[in-house]
Amino acid sequence: MRFKTDHLIYGGDYNPEQWEDREDILEEDIRLMKEAHINEVTLGVFSWAREEPTEGEYDLSWLRRRVDLLYENGIETILATPSGARPRWLAEKYPEVLRVDETRHRNLFGRRHNHCYTSPVYREKVWEIDHKLAEEFRHHPGIKAWHISNEFGGDCHCPLCQKDFRNYLWEKYDGDIDNLNHAWWNTFWSHTYDSFEQIESPSPRGENSVNALDLEWKRFVSHQTTDFMKHEIAALRDGGAMQPVTTNFMYDFDGLDYEELAKHLDVISWDSYPFWYGKEDIISASEHAFYHDVMRSLKKKPFLLMESSTTSTNWMPVSRLRRPGILENASLSAVAHGSDSVQYFQIRAGRGGEEKLHGAVISHYGGTDTRIFGETRRVGEILEGLSEVAGSLCDAKCAIIYDTQNRWALEDSYGPRNTGMGYHDLARKCYRGVKAAGLDTDIFSQDQDFSGYKLIIVPMLYMFRGDFAERVEKFVKKGGILVMTYWSGVVDETDLTYLGGTPHGLTDVLGLRFEEIDSLPDAEYNHISPVSDNSLGLTGSYFADKLCELIKPNGASTLMTYDEDWYAGYPAVLEHEYGKGRAYYVCADMEEEFYREFIPAIAKRHRIKPLIADVPYYVDVASRVNDSCRYIFIQNYGVLEEKVKLPAGCEVLLGSADGVLPPASTTIVRVDL
Ligand code: GLA
Ligand code: ZN
């Protein structure tokens, strides 16, 4: 089903069931929402106990009335299924719906997200309530989309889940336990299985030394969660609901392989809660921009920012306020990177419970004469003026391979560093390099097709699955530019190391092979300097820490070398021409500034055109395109004014007309194609 909106959606989670005794508050909320230019609310995320107060007795009249009223006032609804938290009666009558933890203890009733995805009873009860909601709202013109459950995550180790796990493995390994033993290297420590019946999920009290078991368990959890989500979607469809479906993903969450879930959703959405650093806001902005790009890349289509906060959250270690202008920047960052919405958790702050002190559009004070309400209204005005951006896409020439399954394997494996391999941080540094080059980038796993891009960046891809290496070889041979880093191509999909040279299958493409990897203790580092007359014209020296590889060149030429320790003079950055393309290899964990010189130099040399030239450190640039024009978003996150050269002939939609960017501000320009 296609998700489409002709305007940018502005709204967020709204919980009117917490205020049923306050008719005045409902009226006031609608008035305030209109004043803030809000055109959407997300309802019912945790309303099961109100929708089905006792088993089989439903009451949706309160919800219907609110959906109607909001719609009459120009506010559409994204309606949630309530499976993220269950009513007390359900857990009491059917204890099997409660989750069992990895030590094999069943949880008590409480909190949310505390349910088994396998339990037939839970699935049946969820089916019934979802079906009822679908029957009630399937024809309602105010329903924009369905929001399935909430922030899927976590695992359950109950007997039902164990049984399904064994079935999953049985299918995958063709019912042949020797296949599995071989792929998991189970002769190690005499852990061979005699039958699938003996397999148990990983546990700190039992098996937790088989990396392949850990990996398959994570794959199974993704599979089972996806299956549960599909079950919910099927209930809605069976109930006659034909609106698009989504579910809200999370930041930096590696508990699920989102690519698996994404296949079954009509539109991707996610919840973005940056920690704002003040002077260094660019760090957080860039991290979240990275994830906006991840989310957009899941379908290569606009996504929705499902949740964010108007001000601080209440669950971070410290609840830092954001300085003026940052709310606008954060909201427009989502739009810049492909979102067709800006939504908040929450519209009105509740009076009790864990989230009463979380930021909201409407505070406990309730007035509009506050900084936050003012900024929220301003964002609403800006979004209303940017309707033409809705639906526009991204035509990135660059792709970063960032792979959840790789992360699982990399971080689970013992050695070479058990105090953090820094995968996410490395990807983020590469991303900053791409952004310094003034480029857009897609970000996706190794399973996706990258053949149409000009530049692919492959940070620390420890696990190569399927025909990845062959596809990379073909890509470079035909003229593609590859950047690969240390610790790539080491293991296969069940974490068995490859034999022969690594990066597996790419030693000819890269003109080198791996020899050894040194892991540096915290606070120790090496330095890297360019060789004179290197082909990229690199001039900076940088520090490297965490991991330093020793590489044996075999055709590749050296661009930079290590300065210190007994491997001073060994290559640290190499390049190799292969077919019509070129492959670069980075041997060590370099600081961000290295990537901010290296990637722009590559882009320049290979004529990949920037959106704007010379992007300053505190500035993020991204673009969206439609058939007739490109929208370029230029955001200054710094505390000082910055200056850029705007594209010739552009029309300014917001912000600066002369390229002078005030602190914490966004400029948007349109360029005709
Ligand atoms: C998550 C949840 C919301 C709420 C917010 C608070 O994103 O989905 O229900 O708890 O966090 O930041
Ligand atoms: Zn279970």
Nearest to 454 by CA among 407, 399, 381, 405: 399
Residue 398, helix vs strand vs coil? strand
Question: Helices 592-605 and 423-436 meet at what angle, rounded to 10?
Answer: 50
Identify whether the C-beta of residue 386 lies closer than 8 Å to the C-beta of residue 335. Answer: yes
Identify whether the C-beta of residue 526 lies closer than 8 Å to the C-beta of residue 501. Answer: no
Predicted local confidence at residue 437, as pLDDT:
98
pLDDT digits (tens, 9 = 90+) for 196-247: 999 999 999 999 999 999 999 999 999 999 999 999 999 999 999 999 999 9
Which of 78, 345, 356 is the best mutation target for the ligand 1 pocket, counting ligand atoms within 8 Å of the beta carbon and taking the most? 345
**Helix, strand, coil % over all residues of the chain, rounded to 5:** 35, 20, 45
Predicted local confidence at residue 416, as pLDDT:
97
402 Cα: distance to centroid of ligand 2 (angstroms): 30
* Atom of ligand 1 lying closest to residue 151 CA: 8
117 Cα: distance to centroid of ligand 2 (angstroms): 6
Predicted local confidence at residue 450, as pLDDT:
98
Provide the 10 A C-beta neighbour count for residue 588. Answer: 29
Radius of gyration for the alpha carbons in the chain, expressed in angstroms and rounded: 26
106 Cα: distance to centroid of ligand 2 (angstroms): 9
Asked whether residue 456 carries a pLDDT value surpassing 90, the answer given is yes
Average of pLDDT values for 528-548? 97
Identify whether the C-beta of residue 536 lies closer than 8 Å to the C-beta of residue 599. Answer: no
307 a catalytic residue: yes
Helix (H) or strand (E) holding 22: none
Identify whether the C-beta of residue 484 lies closer than 8 Å to the C-beta of residue 511. Answer: no
Which of 43, 252, 355 is the best mutation target for the ligand 1 pocket, counting ligand atoms within 8 Å of the beta carbon and taking the most? 355
168 Cα: distance to centroid of ligand 1 (angstroms): 32
Question: Helices 326-336 and 371-384 meet at what angle, rounded to 10?
Answer: 30
Nearest Cα residue to atom 12 of ligand 1 = 313
Nearest Cα residue to atom 3 of ligand 1 = 345
334 Cα: distance to centroid of ligand 1 (angstroms): 18
Average of pLDDT values for 370-385? 98
Listed range (4-8, 147-151, 209-213, 275-279) with the worst mean pLDDT:
275-279
* CA–CA dist 644, 87 (Å, integer): 55
* Fold (topology level) of 268-390: TIM Barrel (3.20.20)
Q: Where are any strands of DSSP class E within 6-158?
A: 9-13, 40-43, 76-80, 143-147
Q: Which ligand ends up closest to the CA of 309?
A: 1
164 Cα: distance to centroid of ligand 2 (angstroms): 9
Provide the 10 A C-beta neighbour count for residue 329. Answer: 22
* CA–CA dist 320, 337 (Å, integer): 25
Nearest to 197 by CA among 157, 217, 167: 167
Q: Which ligand ends up closest to the CA of 158?
A: 2
Q: Which ligand ends up closest to the CA of 14?
A: 1
Which residues approach ligand 1 with their CB closer than 6 A?
150-151, 248, 271, 273, 307, 313, 315, 345, 355, 358
Long-range contacts from 313-316, C-beta under 8 angstroms, 24+ separation: 313/273, 313/358, 313/359, 314/354, 314/355, 314/356, 314/357, 314/358, 314/359, 315/358, 316/273, 316/275
Q: Which ligand ends up closest to the CA of 201?
A: 2
* Atom of ligand 1 lying closest to residue 45 CA: 9
Residue 655, helix vs strand vs coil? coil
Mean residue pLDDT of the chain comes to 97
Asked whether residue 1 carries a pLDDT value surpassing 90, the answer given is no
Nearest Cα residue to atom 7 of ligand 1 = 271
536: left (phi over 0), alpha (psi -120 to 50) or beta: alpha
Which stretches of 239-300 are DSSP H helices? 258-262, 281-299
pLDDT digits (tens, 9 = 90+) for 40-84: 999 999 999 999 999 999 999 999 999 999 999 999 999 999 999
Average of pLDDT values for 549-572? 98
Identify whether the C-beta of residue 671 lies closer than 8 Å to the C-beta of residue 629. Answer: yes
The amino acid that residue 195 corresponds to is S
The amino acid that residue 136 corresponds to is E
The amino acid that residue 20 corresponds to is E
Nearest Cα residue to atom 10 of ligand 1 = 355
140 Cα: distance to centroid of ligand 1 (angstroms): 27
* Atom of ligand 1 lying closest to residue 150 CA: 8
3-state secondary structure 115-175: ECCCCHHHHHHHHHHHHHHHHHHCCCCCEEEEECCCCCCCCCCCHHHHHHHHHHHHHHCCC
Helix (H) or strand (E) holding 487: none
* Fold (topology level) of 398-605: Rossmann fold (3.40.50)
Average of pLDDT values for 359-374? 98
* Atom of ligand 1 lying closest to residue 354 CA: 10
pTM above 0.85, yes or no: yes
- The CATH classification of domain 619-672, taken from the options 2.40.160.20, 3.40.1390.30, 3.40.50.1000, 2.60.40.1180: 2.60.40.1180
Asked whether residue 279 carries a pLDDT value surpassing 90, the answer given is no
Which of 48, 307, 343, 348 is the best mutation target for the ligand 1 pocket, counting ligand atoms within 8 Å of the beta carbon and taking the most? 307
Percent of the chain with pLDDT over 90: 99
* Atom of ligand 1 lying closest to residue 307 CA: 7
The catalytic position among 40, 51, 76, 151 is: 151
Question: Helices 281-299 and 326-336 meet at what angle, rounded to 10?
Answer: 30
Which of 45, 113, 151 is the best mutation target for the ligand 1 pocket, counting ligand atoms within 8 Å of the beta carbon and taking the most? 151
253 Cα: distance to centroid of ligand 1 (angstroms): 14
Backbone angles phi, psi at 344, to 5 degrees: -115, 150
Helix (H) or strand (E) holding 311: none
pLDDT band at 461 (very low <50, low <70, confident <90, very high): very high
* CA–CA dist 248, 123 (Å, integer): 20
Predicted local confidence at residue 282, as pLDDT:
96
642 Cβ neighbours under 8 A, 6+ residues apart: 616, 618, 619, 636, 660, 661
Nearest Cα residue to atom 5 of ligand 1 = 345
Asked whether residue 533 carries a pLDDT value surpassing 90, the answer given is yes
Q: Is the peptide bond before 600 cis (omega within 30 degrees of 0)?
A: no
pLDDT digits (tens, 9 = 90+) for 569-611: 999 999 999 999 999 999 999 999 999 999 999 999 999 999 9
pLDDT digits (tens, 9 = 90+) for 105-133: 999 999 999 999 999 999 999 999 999 99
Domain boundaries, the chain: 268-390, 398-605, 619-672
Q: Which ligand ends up closest to the CA of 116?
A: 2
Predicted local confidence at residue 575, as pLDDT:
98
* Atom of ligand 1 lying closest to residue 315 CA: 12
Predicted local confidence at residue 219, as pLDDT:
98
Average of pLDDT values for 407-415? 97
pLDDT digits (tens, 9 = 90+) for 499-512: 999 999 999 999 99
Average of pLDDT values for 290-301? 98
Listed range (276-285, 354-363, 662-671) with the worst mean pLDDT:
276-285
**Residues 120, 122, 127, 128, CA torsion sign:** positive
**Six token digits for residue 266:** 């009509």
Q: Which ligand ends up closest to the CA of 118?
A: 2
250 Cα: distance to centroid of ligand 1 (angstroms): 10
257 Cα: distance to centroid of ligand 1 (angstroms): 20
Which of 152, 269, 271 is the best mutation target for the ligand 1 pocket, counting ligand atoms within 8 Å of the beta carbon and taking the most? 271
Query: Tell me, what DSSP letter sits at residue 104?
Result: S
The catalytic position among 40, 259, 307, 597 is: 307
Predicted local confidence at residue 485, as pLDDT:
99
Identify whether the C-beta of residue 445 lies closer than 8 Å to the C-beta of residue 404. Answer: yes
